[in-house]
Amino acid sequence: SIDISSLTKQTGYTTLDQGFVNTASTKSAITYIDGDEGILRYRGYAIEDVAKNSTYLEVAWMLIHGSLPTADQLGEFEEKIRRHTLLHEDLRSFFSALPKDAHPMSVLSSAVSALSTYYEDSLDVHDPEQVEISTIRLLAKLPTIAAYAHKKSLGQAFLYPDNSLSFVDNFLKMNFGNMAEEYEVNPVVSKALDRLLILHEDHEQNASTSTVRLVGSTEANIFASISAGINALYGPLHGGANEAVLKMLGEIKRSGEGVEKYVERVKNKEDGVRLMGFGHRVYKNFDPRARLVKESAHEVLDSLGVKDDLLDIAMELESVALADDYFIERKLYPNVDFYTGVIYKAMGFPTRMFTVLFAIGRLPGWIAHWREMNDDPKTKIGRPQQLYIGEPAREWPSAR
């Protein structure tokens, strides 16, 4: 039995909000979401306009600095990033210490954490110049790390970055090129990947961004904070959902049970099975990113001439679920990750790389939030409260 009076005394006016359903952890000027209306804006600009008119690096600059860059600012930013894409040669050998089948998300978070060991002279979180160079290093090197993780899983040689190419084209080449032949970038794939990265760049206080902020609130360096964010993203209820969606579609195909049967199992909560890529804590109408991703899915598959049964299964699942009371009552709609996996697969990425692509997309948002928090003199270390529900004080047993 618990002594309630001692509990009351301890908790005072503490609010219990499991999963932060109602509690804001911070103020922020970066991203606006209206979940009921399906609105997402980066620095005030509608996501539809941003995705149509911009590039990953331009959006990164805008998220971090608050406004669109001038042509000179953007050119300088792109050039700086180009000059920092290489990894220290010693870090290349880090990859050979890991098992061949290491999950690339674990490789990514470990390598980002390890990056800080090479830059110990520029980790001062209060020095704007050091924060700026760390920002450039992270944006430039994360794609290289990701491509090395991919190449390692294939047992293929790593390709050095090709800095004559654009950010996205270089990334594609590092993943799909090889030493023996020229690599030709497919412009439709390049444009679609850039667009997908843009759609993932920020999403205010999601689990990984909140993790980055919490770790950063201790004045941990930016590499340590981002590495923690990557680990938070890894989970299947967050960034890992894109990998989980493709597994789910594959299982439906293999089992031959049909979409309707699978949806019944979801509704009956058999073995806790959920419709992956469906539902969102904030969007209760539709996820505006999902619409744009669905358009890209058709464009990419058509242009590559890929016919994938999994896209058909996904579309059937979507239409069955959207007409079903279970999903209507709970306001469950496809989220950004419902169709991304089908596109990444058509581009040639293995399933285990999908969440890594999300991490590259989300990196500018993590950096923008870390810097916003760090620039705010009112920032305090994040330290949630708890309601203690354990034993009241008791005597240590005399005879043990």
Q: Which is nearer to ligand ACO, 159 or 266 (CB)?
A: 266
Amino acid, res. 180: A
Using CB under 6 A, pick the residue from 57, 145, 172, 241 that binds ligand ACO.
241
Query: Residue 103 CB: number of other CB atoms within 10 A?
Result: 19
Residue 95 touches ligand ACO, criterion: CB under 6 A: no
CA 227 – CA 370 distance, rounded (Å): 12
**Strand-pair category, 45-46 with 31-34:** unpaired
Using CB under 6 A, pick the residue from 215, 226, 290, 336 that binds ligand ACO.
336
Phi-psi sector, 277: left (phi>0), alpha (psi -120 to 50), beta:
left
**Which stretch, 64-72, 112-120, 274-282, 391-399, contacts ligand ACO (CB under 6 A)?**
274-282
> Shortest Cβ distance from residue 242 to ligand ACO (Å)?
8
Q: Quick check: 130 and 122 in contact, CB under 8 A?
A: yes
Q: Which is nearer to ligand ACO, 177 or 341 (CB)?
A: 341
> Shortest Cβ distance from residue 151 to ligand ACO (Å)?
26
- Catalytic residues, by residue number, are 280, 337
Residue 276 touches ligand ACO, criterion: CB under 6 A: yes
Using CB under 6 A, pick the residue from 173, 238, 294, 345 that binds ligand ACO.
238
CA 138 – CA 118 distance, rounded (Å): 12
Q: Which residues of 220-242 are buried (b: 16+ CB within 10 A; e: fewer)?
A: bbbbbbbbbbbbbbbeeebbbbb
Q: Which is nearer to ligand ACO, 56 or 354 (CB)?
A: 354
Residue 278 touches ligand ACO, criterion: CB under 6 A: yes
Residue 266 touches ligand ACO, criterion: CB under 6 A: yes
CA 102 – CA 91 distance, rounded (Å): 16
Residue 234 touches ligand ACO, criterion: CB under 6 A: no
Residue 334 touches ligand ACO, criterion: CB under 6 A: no
Residue 155, C-beta contacts closer than 8 angstroms, at least 6 positions apart: 100
Q: Is 8 exposed, middle or buried (0-12, 13-18, 19+ CB in 10 A)?
A: exposed
Residue 57 touches ligand ACO, criterion: CB under 6 A: no
Measured from each CB, the residue nearest to ligand ACO is: 279
Binding site for ligand ACO (CB under 6 A): 19, 237-239, 241, 266, 274-281, 330, 332, 335-337
